[in-house]
Amino acid sequence: MYLIFFVCAAGAGFWAGGQMNELAKQYAQSDVGESISAIPMRFLAAIALGLTVLSISFSPEWFIALPFALALTIICICDIRYMIIPDVITLPGIASAAVLRIFIHPLPFWDYIAAALIGSGLFYLAALLIRFLSNTDAVGGGDIKLLALTGLVLGIKLTVLSFLMFSLAGMVAGILIILSGKLRKNMIIPFGPFIAAASLISYYWGSDGIKFAFSILLK
């Protein structure tokens, strides 16, 4: 049964990836937009939807999980290509997730609201601090809105887990760039892909990982 779900979801993702690539082109420069291949978006969307149906039990949660995976896919590609996290994805995503969580909430509803406020609030404070210390906008508004979206989907525990994961991944990436000698003045590293990947990993397998960690600690 799940093999059928996987094939259907991956096929739908491959098709949707092409449509999402057309949307992403709106953020490209006019002279390069037509030449951007849809293949990376198609395969990333296919993998994201395929993993969603394999990792999230068949339930009403799919109404949140599948659009969430697609949203993170296009956010990831847009941030890598154009250094932007589109409001046209995050803002409707936040509104839709908030409404759906009223009816679909394995955790208490307040847990998701608190996670959205905690995740986006921490990044907002970080943005203010960095701006105060360096007068630069190292943390963009798109990242803050993305964390509000992921919080509404993940809940507090998984949001904290994803926060630790993408912070560590971002730090490692920064160290590697410095060691490679490729660091440039005013260089900006797109953080959306780190947030997206960590959020999906936490969403798919984070609960089992937390249970396993606690089982080890309590032995």
60: DSSP letter:
T
Angle between helices 141-154 and 156-180 (to 10 degrees): 140
CA distance 172 to 74: 24
**What phi and psi, each to the nearest 5 degrees, are found at residue 104?**
-120, 100
Please report whether residue 27 resides in a domain.
yes
Residue 208 has pLDDT above 80, yes or no: no
Distance from CA of residue 12 to its chain's centroid?
19
Please report whether residue 88 resides in a domain.
yes
Tokens of 64: 């949140």
Q: Both ends of the chain: CA-CA distance in Å?
A: 37
Is the alpha carbon torsion for 129, 130, 136, 138 positive or negative?
negative
Please report whether residue 52 resides in a domain.
yes
Please report whether residue 167 resides in a domain.
yes
Please report whether residue 9 resides in a domain.
yes
The residue among 68, 67, 90, 66 whose CA lies nearest residue 78 is: 90
Cβ contact 50:6 at 8 Å: yes
Scan for tokens 């690539």, then name that residue: 21
Angle between helices 109-134 and 87-103 (to 10 degrees): 150
Question: Between these two residues, 3 and 67, which has the higher pLDDT value?
Answer: 67
Please report whether residue 210 resides in a domain.
no
**Residue 187 has what pLDDT?**
65
Number of domains in the chain: 1
**Residue 150 has what pLDDT?**
96
Q: What's the pLDDT tens digit per position in 142-174?
A: 889 999 999 999 999 999 999 999 889 888 887
**Residue 137 has what pLDDT?**
61
Scan for tokens 């509000």, then name that residue: 148
Model confidence, pTM? 0.88
Please report whether residue 101 resides in a domain.
yes
**Residue 33 has what pLDDT?**
47
Please report whether residue 216 resides in a domain.
no
- Structural domain span for residue 116: 2-202
Residue 36 has pLDDT above 90, yes or no: no
Cβ contact 75:48 at 8 Å: no
Residue 119 has pLDDT above 90, yes or no: no
**Residue 14 has what pLDDT?**
92
Q: What's the pLDDT tens digit per position in 65-114?
A: 999 999 999 999 999 888 889 999 999 999 999 999 999 999 999 999 99
Residue 126 has pLDDT above 90, yes or no: no
